[in-house]
Structure 1
Amino acid sequence: MSKQGTETRGFQSEVKQLLHLMIHSLYSNKEIFLRELISNASDAADKLRFKALANSALYESNAELAVRISLDKEAGTLTIADNGIGMTRDEVIENLGTIARSGTKAFLESLGSEQLKDSQLIGQFGVGFYSSFIVADKVTVKTRAAGHQADEAVMWESAGEGEYTLSDLTKADRGTEIILHLRDDEKEFLDDWRIKSIISKYSDHISLPVEVQTQDGEETKWEKINKAQALWTRSKSEISDEEYKEFYKHISHDFSDPLAWSHNRVEGKQEYTSLLYIPAKAPWDMWNRDHQHGLKLYVNRVFIMDDAEQFMPNYLRFVKGLIDSNDLPLNVSREILQDSKVTQNLRNACTKRVLQMLEKLAKDESEQYQQFWQEFGLVLKEGTGEDFANRETIAKLLRFASTHNDNDLPTVSLSDYLARLQEGQDKIYYITADSYIAAKNSPHLELFRKKGIEVLLLSDRIDEWMMNYLTEFEGKTFQSVSKSDETLEKLADTESTEEQKQAEKELEPFVTRVKTLLDTRVKDVKLTHRLTDTPAIVTTDASEMTTQMAKLLAATGQKVPEVKYTLEINPEHALVKRIASISDDAQFKDWIELLLEQALFAEQGTLIDPNSFIQRMNKLFTA
Structure 2
Amino acid sequence: MSKQGTETRGFQSEVKQLLHLMIHSLYSNKEIFLRELISNASDAADKLRFKALENPELYAGDANLGVRISINKDAGTITIADNGIGMTRDEVIDNLGTIAKSGTKAFLQTMGSDQAKDSQLIGQFGVGFYSSFIVADKVTVKTRSAQVSADEAVMWESAGEGEYTISDISKSERGTEITLHLREEDKEFLDDWRIRSIISKYSDHIALPVEVQTQENDEVKWEKINKAQALWTRSKTEISDDEYKEFYKHISHDFADPLTWSHNRVEGKQEYTSLLYIPAKAPWDLWNRDHEHGLKLYVHRVFIMDEAQQFMPNYLRFVKGLIDSNDLPLNVSREILQDSKITQNLRNALTKRVLQMLNKLSKDQPEQYQQFWNEFGLVLKEGTGEDFTNRESIAKLLRFASTHTDSDAQTVSLDEYITRMQDGQDKIYYLTADSYIAAKNSPHLELLRKKGIEVLLLSDRIDEWMMSNLTEFDGKQFLSVSKADESLEKLADTEESEQQKETDKAFEAFISKAKTLLGERVKNVKLTHRLTTTPAMVTTDADEMTTQMAKLFAATGQKVPEVKYIFEINPEHALVKRIAAIEDEAQFNEWVELLFDQALFAERGTLTDPHTFIQRMNQLLMNN
- How high is the TM-score relative to the length of structure 1? 0.98
Cα distance in structure 2, aligned partners of 1:115 and 1:434: 34
1:452 corresponding residue in structure 2: 452
Within 5 Å, which residues of 2 pair with 1:162-561? Answer: 162-364=162-364, 366-561=366-561
After superposition, the C-alpha distances for 1:344-379 in whole angstroms (9 at most, x for unaligned) are 111111111111110111114521000000011111
Cα distance in structure 2, aligned partners of 1:247 and 1:507: 72
How far does residue 25 in structure 1 lie from its aligned partner after superposition?
A: 4.3
Letter in 2 for 1:478: F
Distance 1:604 1:278, change over 3 A: same
1:12 corresponding residue in structure 2: 12
> Quick check: 1:260–1:277 contact (8 Å CA) kept in 2?
yes
Within 5 Å, which residues of 2 pair with 1:39-188? Answer: 39-62=39-62, 64-114=64-114, 118-188=118-188
Structure 2 unmatched ranges of 5 or more: none
Cα distance in structure 2, aligned partners of 1:382 and 1:297: 25
How far does residue 63 in structure 1 lie from its aligned partner after superposition?
A: 5.2
How far does residue 157 in structure 1 lie from its aligned partner after superposition?
A: 1.2
> Quick check: 2:27–2:115 contact (8 Å CA) kept in 1?
no
1:598 corresponding residue in structure 2: 598
How far does residue 116 in structure 1 lie from its aligned partner after superposition?
A: 7.8
Cα distance in structure 2, aligned partners of 1:486 and 1:115: 56
Runs of 4+ more than 2 Å apart = 110-118, 120-123, 493-497
> Quick check: 1:21–1:116 contact (8 Å CA) kept in 2?
no
Structure 2 counterpart SS, 1:523? strand
2:580 corresponding residue in structure 1: 580
Cα distance in structure 1, aligned partners of 2:584 and 2:144: 91
Cα distance in structure 2, aligned partners of 1:105 and 1:535: 52
Letter in 2 for 1:246: E
After superposition, the C-alpha distances for 1:118-161 in whole angstroms (9 at most, x for unaligned) are 41343222211111110011111111111201111111111111
Cα distance in structure 1, aligned partners of 2:514 and 2:113: 59
Cα distance in structure 1, aligned partners of 2:135 and 2:101: 26
Cα distance in structure 1, aligned partners of 2:496 and 2:49: 78
How far does residue 581 in structure 1 lie from its aligned partner after superposition?
A: 1.3
> Quick check: 1:50–1:302 contact (8 Å CA) kept in 2?
yes
> Quick check: 1:296–1:307 contact (8 Å CA) kept in 2?
yes
> Quick check: 2:25–2:134 contact (8 Å CA) kept in 1?
no
Letter in 2 for 1:520: E
1:22 corresponding residue in structure 2: 22
Distance 1:301 1:384, change over 3 A: same
Structure 1 counterpart SS, 2:54? coil
- How high is the TM-score relative to the length of structure 2? 0.98
Distance 1:365 1:191, change over 3 A: closer
How far does residue 165 in structure 1 lie from its aligned partner after superposition?
A: 1.6
Cα distance in structure 2, aligned partners of 1:112 and 1:182: 27
State the superposition RMSD in angstroms: 1.2
> Quick check: 1:21–1:117 contact (8 Å CA) kept in 2?
no
Letter in 1 for 2:41: A
Cα distance in structure 2, aligned partners of 1:28 and 1:115: 8
Cα distance in structure 1, aligned partners of 2:496 and 2:75: 92
Count the aligned residue pairs: 623
Q: Which moved more, 1:209-218 or 1:61-70?
A: 61-70
How far does residue 115 in structure 1 lie from its aligned partner after superposition?
A: 6.2
Structure 1 counterpart SS, 2:263? strand
Structure 1 unmatched ranges of 5 or more: none
> Quick check: 1:25–1:119 contact (8 Å CA) kept in 2?
no
Distance 1:35 1:355, change over 3 A: same
Query: How many percent of aligned residue pairs carry the same amino acid?
Result: 82
Cα distance in structure 1, aligned partners of 2:552 and 2:117: 37
